Amino acid sequence: MSNAAATAVLKMTDQSFADTVKTNTLLVVDCYADWCGPCRMIAPIVEELANHYSGRVAFAKVDVDNSPNISRQFHISSIPTLLFFKNGEMVDRQVGALPKHALQARVDSLLAS
């Protein structure tokens, strides 16, 4: 299961960011770093929800240490930060880890809007 879950989350970079945002109606981006403890805690939740919402919501990860342009563009100063995009526009953000039910409720709300 972990291999399937890992492949459900897209990997994004500064170079692929714009195209990924444009080509997904609803996208949740997990901005993280390998050394970040809370980022490691939220990663399995993001992977699980990526599988749960497969075909309806895209989930992606971006390593802020390797993608400084994204960090600057979205003023990411604390991680994890989740960015929520709908139809190519950022519509919400979450700074800090949150429990699965809270993230799921946020995604459900965006799907309904």
Spell out where 18-88 has E strands: 26-32, 58-63, 81-86
Pairing state of beta strands 9-12 and 89-95?
unpaired
Residue with tokens 């946020």: 106
Integer angstrom CA distances of residue 8 from 35, 59, 70, 71, 73:
22, 7, 21, 23, 25
Please tell me which residue in 28, 29, 39, 58 is annotated as part of the active site. Answer: 39
At 91, is the secondary structure helix, strand, or coil? strand
Whether 31 is a known active-site residue: answer no
- Name the DSSP class of 59: E
Residues belonging to the active site: 36, 39
